[in-house]
């Protein structure tokens, strides 16, 4: 009897001595005379070890489909942006069932509308409404996973999509998508060589359930995120107006900060936190008396010390908000800190200042100097860039952030 061991979750199957163990996927890795069928995230090093085991006569059991679906769902769990999430899911489905393309369609009164597509037709068909008298419509109305392997002879097949995409659909497997108890759309997977099987239908149906749960959680998150942002912006705008400052200051700082974050390549989740942090960076001014905050002339040393406290007040206020974490809070607390230790409130230096504090800090200075205030006219961007460049040379600001700021402002303002 051959010794058997369990393979890693990403191992779908392999062909050895012309015999298939497990199942084929779209992703093929060939090592020696063995063809391995895997999912994304596989390890070449581990595949080489499995190759040696198989050559020694040890049987390696490929992972079962349900475990692979759970594996894929776990990998995608941290992705919050809906379109990216759904494209990732569809790409994984195409890999696991060895298909060429996939689409998610959402029901809208009397037709289905493409939400996300992957494959050769992607980008060409999203604006085309799909009638209910179609394969997708049939799947939706039947409320179950269905296979259509001979579309040439199927009168229900809607050919408008193929015509627009210059793409021939040979076969389809699809399943309805439910959000809680409401049927909201369909997922279709297209073009598998040799046609789809019942096992493929079960896989797509499993993914349809995952998509339904992901849609619910992501829609809830994005609805919360949008409402939360509106609330924060309303607070920030009220503070900006109280300061006799342009009411767009917080929005400007937020916009430029997020663009710098994108240039730095930070994650979507961090970009959203950076946006919140920048919107709220001056929230502490609510604790500064009008006699000081609105004073048209030069502040005394004592008054300036009080103004400085707005960073500490801001952090204290934000720490009481349930959804504000340390990263969001750091922007309010540290946007007046400087790399050489000359800033406030704590005189932090270089590595002690958070990324949010450094980004919002340099953007805050740009917007303050380029905007008309009660005690000065707006300065040109060239003059502001020169002043900030001098501070970069003095070691106050990060050169990389300065270069990105110049690039972004020039792109946006011309």
Nearest 5°: the CA angle 57, 61, 66 is 170
- H helical segments located in 175-300: 198-242, 249-264, 268-279, 290-293
Tokens of 230: 């509106």
Helices 326-334 and 268-279 sit at what angle, rounded to 10 degrees?
40
Dist CA 9 CA 62 (whole Å):
8
Dist CA 35 CA 32 (whole Å):
8
Tokens of 251: 């929005």
Q: Which of 317, 294, 320 lies closest to 306, judged by CA?
A: 294
Active centre residues (catalytic):
285
Dist CA 184 CA 192 (whole Å):
26
Cβ within 8 Å of residue 128, ≥6 positions away? 114, 160, 161, 164
Tokens of 312: 């500490």
Dist CA 125 CA 121 (whole Å):
6
Tokens of 159: 């050919």
Q: Which of 205, 151, 159 lies closest to 178, judged by CA?
A: 205
Judged by DSSP in three states, 220 sits in helix
Provide the 8-state DSSP code for 379: P
> How many residues are there in the chain?
414
Helices 399-413 and 249-264 sit at what angle, rounded to 10 degrees?
120
Beta strands at 59-61 and 4-6: parallel, antiparallel or unpaired: parallel
Nearest 5°: the CA angle 334, 339, 344 is 40
C-alpha torsion angle, residues 346, 336, 397, 385 (rounded to 10) = -160
């Amino acid at each position: 009897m051959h010794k058997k061991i369990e393979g890693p979750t990403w191992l779908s199957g392999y062909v050895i001595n012309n015999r298939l163990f497990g199942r084929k996927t779209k992703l093929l890795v060939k090592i020696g005379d063995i063809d391995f069928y895997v999912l994304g995230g596989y390890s070449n090093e581990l595949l080489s070890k499995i190759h040696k085991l198989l050559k020694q006569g040890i049987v390696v059991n490929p992972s079962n489909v349900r475990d692979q679906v759970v594996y894929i769902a776990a990998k995608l769990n941290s992705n919050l942006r809906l379109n990216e999430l759904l494209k990732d899911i569809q790409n994984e489905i195409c890999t696991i069932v060895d298909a060429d393309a996939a689409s998610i369609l959402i029901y809208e009164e009397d037709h289905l509308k493409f939400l996300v597509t992957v494959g050769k037709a992607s980008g060409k068909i999203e604006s085309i409404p799909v009638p209910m008298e179609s394969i997708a419509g049939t799947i939706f109305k039947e409320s179950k996973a269905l296979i259509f392997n001979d579309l040439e002879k199927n009168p229900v097949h809607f050919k408008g999509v193929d015509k627009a995409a210059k793409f021939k659909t040979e076969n389809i497997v699809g399943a309805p998508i439910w959000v809680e108890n409401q049927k909201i759309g369909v997922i279709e997977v297209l073009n598998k060589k040799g046609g789809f099987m019942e096992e493929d239908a079960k896989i797509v149906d499993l993914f349809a359930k995952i998509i339904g749960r992901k849609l619910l959680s992501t829609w809830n998150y994005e609805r919360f995120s949008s409402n939360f942002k509106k609330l924060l912006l309303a607070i920030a705008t009220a503070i900006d107006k109280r300061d006799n400052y342009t009411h767009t200051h917080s929005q400007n700082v937020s916009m430029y900060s997020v663009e710098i974050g994108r240039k730095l390549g930070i994650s979507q989740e961090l970009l959203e936190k950076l946006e919140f942090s920048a919107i709220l960076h001056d929230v502490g001014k609510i604790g500064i008396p009008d006699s000081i905050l609105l004073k048209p002339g030069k502040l005394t040393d004592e008054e300036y010390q009080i103004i400085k406290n707005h960073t500490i007040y801001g952090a204290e206020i934000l720490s009481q908000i349930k959804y504000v974490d340390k990263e969001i809070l750091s922007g309010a607390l540290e946007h007046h800190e400087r790399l050489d230790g000359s800033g406030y409130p704590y005189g932090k230096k270089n590595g002690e200042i958070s990324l949010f504090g450094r980004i919002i800090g340099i953007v805050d200075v740009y917007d303050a100097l380029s905007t008309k205030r009660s005690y000065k006219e707006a300065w040109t961007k060239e003059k502001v860039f020169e002043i900030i460049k001098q501070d970069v040379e003095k070691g106050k600001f990060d050169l990389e952030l300065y270069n990105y700021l110049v690039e972004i402002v020039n792109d946006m303002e011309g």
